[in-house]
Structure 1
Amino acid sequence: MTTTFLYGAHIQANGIRQHYLRYGGKLGARAERDAIIIIPGITSPAITWGFVGERLGQYFDTYILDVRGRGLSSANAELDYSLETQATDVIEFAKALGLRNYAIVGHSMGGRIGIRAARTQATGLTSLVMIDPPVSGPGRRAYPSQLAWYVDSMRYAREGCSVEQMRTFCPSWSQEQLQLRAEWLHTCDERAVIESFNGFHSDDIHQDLPHIKIPSLLIVAGRGNVLMPQDIEEICSLMPQVKVAHVQNAGHMIPWDDESGFYAAFGDFLGTRF
């Protein structure tokens, strides 16, 4: 298959170095469609979403962002890793690249970042896709994953772990997926991950939802335990314009579990089926 990958690059935005991977470009029909910014989850550097970028790049000018503290973006002890700052990063990233119109496609933590960014009604942000976002927060049930799972796996990666060691954390993943995670997980800064995990329980994204006016899509893992039926009902009550799609055969890491089902869940929400 001909690759849609164009290049990886860095840009200065919101006061930090932001690294991204670009797929597709603006030639042909892509020039008439909104660009896409993919925001991965809590311990997913941009490169781990490359297979999704390859597919979306066939139809859209696609950017996969290394969230601060992950991959090749800035990471240090002085950085602010709050949800508010991460959301501003995305908005300033789009401005720095000169994106006139763009959609945010955020998975898990990336979905929460997208929600906070969309609340600002930023110029150029035309639509939002939330992929199985954690709905934990003040006074709500805890996020189902444990912090130790992230911290322990990152420690193994920093020391240099094998694919088999990584398999103990992600037993259902393919050999290729495990190899990529074992190679890149060490780039996730532990401070950033801990702050983001704690933010799952201290940040109230539900207060943001009524302020989101752009078209929105919620993609739910059919075999996941992050979003329960009552959570979906509440989200729909807070943002009546939201569409909901289920990927029945997938857990929380939806495109890893059912890639074709993941793409099908978008329907024509982004302007074309892919």
Structure 2
Amino acid sequence: MATSRSFDIGGGAVLNVSCFGSQGPALIFLHFWGGSSRTYSPVIELLGTHFQTFAVDFRGWGASTGPDDPDAYSIQTLADDIEAVITALQLKSYFIIGHSMGGKVAQLLAGKGCLKGLQGVVLVAPAPPSPLELPAEAKEQQLSAYDSRENATFVAKNVLTSTSLPDGVIAALAEDMLKGSSVARDAWPKYAMAEDVTAEVQNITVPVLVVAASADRVEPADKMQSLVVDRIKHASLVVIEGSGHMIPVEAPGQLATHIKSFVDKVSI
């Protein structure tokens, strides 16, 4: 059964971490913009007997809190938060799994070279390390994507996913989107997606697995090779057929299999 731990990292941020499993290598899960630690629940249920898992709620999302400062949600700040949690957990070796926005945070963490014990990284439909500048109209659409249950449900069903999911799964996704604080929700489209971490990514030395989805409308699989894999020295790519951007809930079994295979191979 999962347990929760809270880490006060200062500056008004208290991070919630959902912990599951007690043996094997440690896995740290970082969620997408609009998600929470429970986004990974279907995957962790499949991996918990093999690994120790720690799913983090980023500041302002899930059960974590964050300051009211609209500038306090950069990729750099989120990475610093995760570094503080890893230090507090006192893990000697571990893997980081980052989805979408969480994937950009994971790339920065791995590229900074300051994490002792990092063995490898799994990037799940990751946001590329290069800046993304949206046209004004698209940015406005993103800023309003999570401001009502109707909008959040529409995004979950028609943008983020490409398979038919149970109503309860869609409702949980929408609930997490709405639960995010306004400053956390706005930070990604306003400035975080435009941050450039390509220089750091070129310094990654640990093995990296990039997991893409063939029907992903947000981070198309055909762009993952050039935008992510080719920029990392020791990266490889696998593509899950039929899934949309929400691989952790659309194809949890396949994702869990890829993670376990990667971790087992690196841990030999």
Determine if the TM-score, normalized by the shorter chain, exceeds 0.5. yes
Counterpart for residue 104 of structure 1? 96
**1:57/1:202 Cα in 2 relative to 1: closer, same or farther (>3 Å)?**
same
1:10 and 2:3 equivalent?
A: no
Q: How many residues matched? A: 255
Rounded Cα–Cα distance in structure 2 between residues aligned with 1:8 and 1:205? 31
Q: Deviations over 1:208-250 (max 9, x none)?
A: 2211001111111111131453541353332231011110111
Q: Distance in 2 between matches of 1:74 and 1:135?
A: 26
CA separation of 1:42/1:91 partners in 2, compared to 1, >3 Å: closer, same or farther?
A: same
Whole-Å separation in 1 of the counterparts to 2:186 and 2:16 = 21
Give the corresponding residue for 2:245. Answer: 252
Three-state SS of the structure 2 residue aligned to 1:269 is helix
- Match of 2:111? 119
d(CA) in 2 for partners of 1:88, 1:220: 26
- In structure 2, the partner of 1:22 is 19
Compute the displacement of 1:149 (Å): 5.2
- Aligned equivalents of 2:211, 2:140: Cα separation in 1: 27
Work out whether residues 10 and 18 of structure 1, in 8 Å CA contact, stay in contact via their aligned partners in 2: yes
2:156 equivalent among 167, 170, 177: 170
CA distance in 2, matches of 1:256, 1:187: 18
Query: Which residue identity does 2:236 align to in structure 1?
Result: K
Task: Say whether residues 1:196 and 2:188 are aligned partners.
Answer: yes
Q: Specify the alignment match of 1:133 in structure 2.
A: 126
State the partner residue of 2:262.
269
CA distance in 2, matches of 1:244, 1:85: 28
Structure with the bigger RCO (C-alpha within 8 Å, sep 6+) is 2
Comparing 13-22 with 249-258, greater Cα deviation is found at 13-22
Counterpart code for 2:154: T
SS of corresponding position for 1:250: coil
Match among 233, 242, 251 for residue 226 of structure 2? 233
Contact 1:136 1:200 in 2 (8 A): no
After superposition, the C-alpha distances for 1:48-89 in whole angstroms (9 at most, x for unaligned) are 322222222121100110001101112231361111110111
Task: Please say if residues 107 and 129 of structure 2, whose CA atoms lie closer than 8 Å, have aligned partners that are also in contact.
Answer: no
- Aligned residue identity for 2:2: L
Structure 1 residues 154 and 39: CA distance shift in structure 2, 3 A: same
* Cα root mean square deviation, aligned: 2.6
- After superposition, the Cα gap between the structure-2 partners of 1:141 and 1:73, relative to the gap in structure 1 and judged at 3 Å, is closer
Match of 1:68 in 2: 59
Partners of 1:270 and 1:11 lie apart in 2 by: 26
Q: Percent identical across equivalent pairs? A: 21
Change in 2 beyond 3 A, CA 1:267/1:47:
closer
Q: Which stretches in structure 2 are left out of the alignment for 5+ residues?
A: 158-163
Q: Which moved more, 1:14-23 or 1:41-50?
A: 14-23
TM-score (norm 1): 0.82
1 CA distance for matches of 2:144 and 2:223?
32
Query: Contact 2:40/2:249 (CA < 8 Å) preserved in 1?
Result: no
Q: Structure 2 matches for 1:30-45, cutoff 5 A?
A: 30=24, 33=25, 35-45=26-36
Unaligned runs of 5+ in 1: none
1:153, distance to aligned residue in structure 2 (A): 4.7
TM-score, structure 2 normalization: 0.84
Provide the rounded CA distance (Å) in 2 between the counterparts of 1:169 and 1:236.
Answer: 27
Q: Which residue of 1 aligns with 2:48?
A: 57
